[in-house]
């Protein structure tokens, strides 16, 4: 099979990517995705030159830690129609919609060719006001629209339900209300610091994840390998972010089912976790910690002891509360069997992160494409099978347990001080790098490309929510509409990560 094989965070030349005719491209992609170990990381267009638009797909193999890259060239002057691959593999639907929206690529037989983000210069000609919602007609059908202002997190998203009585027949999720132009800002930025700040601001709940994914790209391009202590500290930061958000989510799940004890206790425990970043780097969300090539704040012995003590203390209270919650018949009954996304559906739509791991698919970048110190100190595989709200809650519990142990393990390791910050090397021209980070939601991928003179030409970001929003819509099929809030909370997908 004619593909370029690379690894997580390794840079390569754009000219090394094989560009093949579309027919062959489709064949290659479908052959690759036929193997359950492979999944789509990103499917993007590069910069077009004189009407020829290079389009590449990145497919990661979870068994071999390889990423396959292959592309085709599309003539934007003729806009010749091409056969959609979505019909054969639904995981690609969102990426094809994105390409259609950006460049007007005429996909044939795409079952759901609708705008993704409504960017300012879109080619589809649709505005957010005349979005063609799917409608079911019938005397018993009624339509409920929720949003676009989300009552809880105040982020915009519109949910339209087609219901028969209390039962949801179809849920359509429309996002794209925030036109932030994140990817464009990366290119406008003048230096590493500005770009890091942008990366940290993509999604407030994933600032460590995004900062690291971006730093990994820049390090890959410059050929820098940060020392072990730097990597260990980043790993600790990522896991701390994970348990803080998971803790908050457990609290919110309990709030949604009116279990006030769990809601109060988990909510209280989240605060010291997230506040620890304030002590470490001066920002509660860990902004300003990770920069390409180095960390600005070393986790000193005093900070390590403080973290270790805090984790011990939180662990006791957390374990007691988690025992109570998961042994409470009323809570378990409320969660059990609600909004199940079974393995076959999850595979079809190509979910990543938590919804994958609760449906029996071990899709975890920490294990399959290790970065940081995950290669040397493996993170345990956590796999559940029921795919319902209870499984998503349980997975959070198991991950909090595992991450606490994992962090304590890293803290107990003897470590040396940070090495001197590496000198900033120039980036190679016409190069590309793909970095993947297992943020708390799942696989986060950044792609950075350089131009002829080694300046940043393009940055592409993929939040795990891109894959997973569709899983939420699937989870609601034939489910009572009153179960939507706990489903939504158990997925806890990103609006801003989607509306880049």
What does the binding site for another protein look like in residue numbers (CB under 8 A)? 142-146, 151-152, 165-166, 254, 256-261, 263-265, 328, 330-331, 333-334, 338, 480-485
**Shortest reach from residue 473's CB to another protein, in Å:** 15
Please tell me the distance from the alpha carbon of residue 374 to that of residue 367, in angstroms, as a whole number: 7
Strand 167-174 relative to strand 158-164, pairing:
antiparallel
* Total Cβ atoms within 10 A of residue 176: 22
Nearer to another protein, 186 or 484 (CB): 484
Question: SS3 of 463, please?
Answer: coil
Nearer to another protein, 62 or 483 (CB): 483
Q: Is the peptide bond before 148 cis (omega within 30 degrees of 0)?
A: yes
Whose CA is closest to 277, among 242, 245, 240?
240
Please tell me the distance from the alpha carbon of residue 382 to that of residue 369, in angstroms, as a whole number: 16
Please tell me the distance from the alpha carbon of residue 356 to that of residue 387, in angstroms, as a whole number: 8
**Shortest reach from residue 156's CB to another protein, in Å:** 16
Nearer to another protein, 33 or 257 (CB): 257
Nearer to another protein, 75 or 167 (CB): 167
**Shortest reach from residue 142's CB to another protein, in Å:** 7
**Shortest reach from residue 469's CB to another protein, in Å:** 18
Counts of helices then strands in the chain (DSSP H, E): 15, 16
Please tell me the distance from the alpha carbon of residue 303 to that of residue 283, in angstroms, as a whole number: 15
Please tell me the distance from the alpha carbon of residue 234 to that of residue 189, in angstroms, as a whole number: 24
Please tell me the distance from the alpha carbon of residue 286 to that of residue 200, in angstroms, as a whole number: 9
* Phi, then psi, of 104 in degrees rounded to 5: 70, 25
Are the CB atoms for 498 and 469 separated by under 8 Å? yes
**Shortest reach from residue 429's CB to another protein, in Å:** 52
Nearer to another protein, 256 or 457 (CB): 256
**Shortest reach from residue 483's CB to another protein, in Å:** 7
Tokens of 295: 């960390």
Are the CB atoms for 363 and 356 separated by under 8 Å? yes
Nearer to another protein, 36 or 133 (CB): 133
Please tell me the distance from the alpha carbon of residue 260 to that of residue 272, in angstroms, as a whole number: 20
To 10 degrees, the CA torsion angle through 180, 184, 185, 190? 180
**Shortest reach from residue 382's CB to another protein, in Å:** 24
User: 386: which residues sit within 8 A by CB, 6+ positions away?
Assistant: 337, 340, 358
- Specify the DSSP element, H or E, that contains 28: helix 22-34
**Shortest reach from residue 340's CB to another protein, in Å:** 14
Nearer to another protein, 111 or 152 (CB): 152
Nearer to another protein, 14 or 257 (CB): 257
Question: SS3 of 97, please?
Answer: helix
Question: SS3 of 127, please?
Answer: coil
**Shortest reach from residue 145's CB to another protein, in Å:** 7
**Shortest reach from residue 167's CB to another protein, in Å:** 9
HSE of 109, CA atoms in CB hemisphere, 13 A = 9
Longest CA–CA separation in the chain, Å: 71
**Shortest reach from residue 496's CB to another protein, in Å:** 21
**Shortest reach from residue 190's CB to another protein, in Å:** 43
Please tell me the distance from the alpha carbon of residue 350 to that of residue 386, in angstroms, as a whole number: 17
- What size, in residues, is the chain? 500
């Amino acid at each position: 099979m004619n593909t370029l094989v690379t690894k997580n965070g390794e840079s390569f030349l754009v000219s090394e990517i094989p560009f093949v005719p579309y027919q062959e491209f489709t064949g290659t992609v479908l052959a690759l995705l036929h193997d359950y170990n492979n999944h789509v990381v990103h499917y993007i267009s590069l910069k077009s030159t004189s009407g020829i638009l290079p389009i590449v797909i990145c497919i990661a193999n979870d068994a071999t830690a390889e990423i396959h890259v292959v592309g085709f060239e599309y003539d934007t002057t003729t806009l010749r129609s091409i056969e959609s691959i979505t019909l054969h593999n639904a995981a690609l639907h969102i990426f094809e919609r994105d390409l259609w929206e950006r460049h007007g690529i005429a996909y044939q037989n795409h079952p759901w060719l609708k705008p993704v983000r409504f960017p300012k210069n879109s080619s589809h000609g649709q505005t957010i006001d005349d979005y063609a919602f799917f409608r079911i007609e019938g005397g018993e059908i009624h339509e409920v629209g929720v949003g676009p202002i989300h009552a809880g997190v105040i982020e915009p998203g519109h949910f339209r339900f087609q219901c028969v009585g209390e039962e949801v027949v179809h849920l359509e999720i429309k996002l794209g209300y925030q036109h932030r132009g994140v990817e464009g800002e990366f290119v406008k930025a003048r230096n590493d610091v500005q770009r890091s700040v942008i990366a940290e601001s993509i999604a407030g709940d994933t600032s460590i994840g995004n900062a690291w994914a971006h730093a990994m790209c820049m390090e890959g391009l410059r050929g820098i390998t940060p020392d072990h202590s730097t990597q260990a500290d980043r790993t600790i930061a990522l896991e701390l972010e994970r348990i803080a958000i998971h803790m908050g989510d457990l609290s919110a799940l309990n709030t949604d089912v009116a279990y006030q004890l769990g809601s109060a206790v988990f909510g209280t425990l989240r605060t010291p976790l997230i506040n620890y970043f304030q002590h470490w780097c001066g920002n509660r969300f860990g902004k300003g910690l990770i920069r390409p090539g180095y960390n600005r704040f070393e986790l000193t012995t005093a900070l390590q002891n403080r973290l270790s003590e805090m984790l011990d203390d939180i662990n006791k209270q957390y374990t007691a509360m988690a025992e109570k919650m998961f042994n409470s018949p009323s809570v378990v009954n409320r969660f059990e069997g609600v909004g199940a996304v079974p393995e076959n559906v999850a595979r079809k739509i190509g979910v990543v992160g938590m919804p994958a791991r609760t449906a029996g698919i071990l899709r975890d970048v920490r294990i399959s494409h290790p970065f940081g110190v995950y290669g040397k100190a493996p993170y345990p595989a956590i796999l559940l099978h029921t795919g319902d709200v209870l499984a998503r809650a349980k997975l959070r519990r198991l991950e909090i347990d595992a991450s606490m142990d994992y962090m304590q393990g890293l803290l107990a390791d003897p470590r040396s001080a940070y090495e001197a910050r590496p000198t900033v090397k120039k980036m190679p021209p016409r190069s590309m790098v793909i970095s993947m980070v297992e943020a708390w939601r799942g696989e986060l991928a950044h792609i950075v490309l350089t131009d002829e003179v080694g300046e940043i030409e393009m940055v592409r970001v993929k939040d795990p929510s891109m894959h997973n929003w569709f899983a939420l819509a699937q989870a609601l099929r034939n489910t009572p509409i009153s179960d939507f809030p706990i489903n939504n909370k158990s997925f806890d997908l990103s609006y801003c990560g989607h509306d880049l």
